[in-house]
Homo-oligomer: A and B are copies of this chain.
Amino acid sequence: MDKYCFAADIGGTTIKMGLFSPAGDIVDKWEIPTKKEDGGSHILEDIADAVKGEMAARNLTADQILGIGVGAPGPVDKDGVIHRAVNLGWDVLNISEKLGALTGMKVMAGNDANVAALGEMWKGGGEGFKDLVVVTLGTGVGGGVIIDGKIVTGCMGAGGEIGHIHVEDDEEDSCGCGNKGCLEQYASATGVVRLAKKKLKTSDKDSVLRTQEVNAKTVFDAVKASDPLAMEIAEEFGEYLGKGLAVIASVTNPEVFVIGGGVSKAGTVIIDYVEKYYKKYVFHASRDAKFKLATLGNDAGIYGAARLLYQ
């Protein structure tokens, strides 16, 4: 770790860029727009330009740079090939090879959720652990499974797709993936809203949620204010997520679960509900897994992308 390192976390609207020092500290971070036109063919060029611009501005030479780490929104295999990123207009694309050719640098790439998980392990809520699962409760439910410090990529880059763990046999609505009863349908921000709307219909209980916009934040704010109906919603949320994480524990037996994403901004109240049901469903040998909140927020991706190079 004696060289600088660039990081790029490619999202649907912006690319988060970062420069990391030889000590692994963040030196600079900035954003550039994600140009989706022409099948996303300018995206890697823009990253290459951003890297070169930053090097010129800081008088950095090529031999001072370890390489570029990239997080991208789709399944990325061990060779840095992404297999379709619908959000970017990409089909099969070898990120490592193409960005490497544009910059002359070593490029390592991974799935954005997996890379963010690595960031949380390196400098976030999972610091100090090597066997962990990072769960991102955002618009969807993403995640990263890390074993002995390394991301579980899977043979098709679909390791850690924990939002699509089946947790409900009786679901009638379809998940975005086409299946029914996926964890994402209950534990994502939109999932919490679904649970809330259903509960508001089927229950007679009074609630502050009847008089305000229903979203993950208002639901958990109401939970903190001891709103009985909101607390019922939180129980359902906790049962689905706890059940899903218990299943993961039967597969990889992690030391810690790190919970991040927009929904987790509600704080430790989330963990209280999840851990209760985790303990109900989990095999006894995994009962003592720890639960922590993610700490890096939107920067987890660039931290993890840099970490791809440093590991």
Contact = CB atoms under 8 A, between A and B. Distances in A.
Contacts of A23: none
Contacts of A160: 251
B283 A250 contact: no
A162 interface: yes
A281 interface: yes
Interface in A159-207: 159-162, 164-166, 168-169, 177-179
A202 B263 CA distance: 44
Contacts of A39: none
A158 B281 contact: no
Given A165-B247, A177-B283, A285-B75, A156 B253 contact: yes
* Interface of A: prevailing SS: loop
A247 B168 CA distance: 12
A284 interface: yes
A110 to B, nearest CB: 13
Contacts of A145: 251-252
Contacts of A158: 249-250, 253, 283, 285-286
Given A145-B251, A251-B159, A284 B152 contact: no
A152 B252 contact: yes
A311 B289 CA distance: 29
A253 B283 contact: no
Interface string A262-295: 0000000000000000000101111011000000
A248 interface: yes
Contacts of A168: 169
Contacts of A75: 285
Interface in A215-256: 243, 246-255
Contacts of A254: 154-155
A280 to B, nearest CB: 8
Contacts of A179: 281, 283
10 contacts: A154-B285, A154-B286, A155-B289, A161-B283, A165-B250, A166-B246, A166-B247, A247-B251, A251-B251, A252-B252
Interface of A: 75, 83, 131, 145, 147, 152-162, 164-166, 168-169, 177-179, 243, 246-255, 281, 283-286, 288-289
The 4 A-B pairs with the shortest beta carbon distances in the complex, nearest first, are A154-B253, A158-B285, A164-B283, A158-B253
Given A155-B255, A178-B284, 19 more contacts: A83-B285, A131-B155, A145-B251, A147-B147, A152-B252, A154-B286, A155-B254, A156-B285, A156-B288, A157-B253, A157-B285, A158-B249, A158-B253, A158-B286, A161-B250, A162-B251, A164-B250, A177-B284, A247-B251
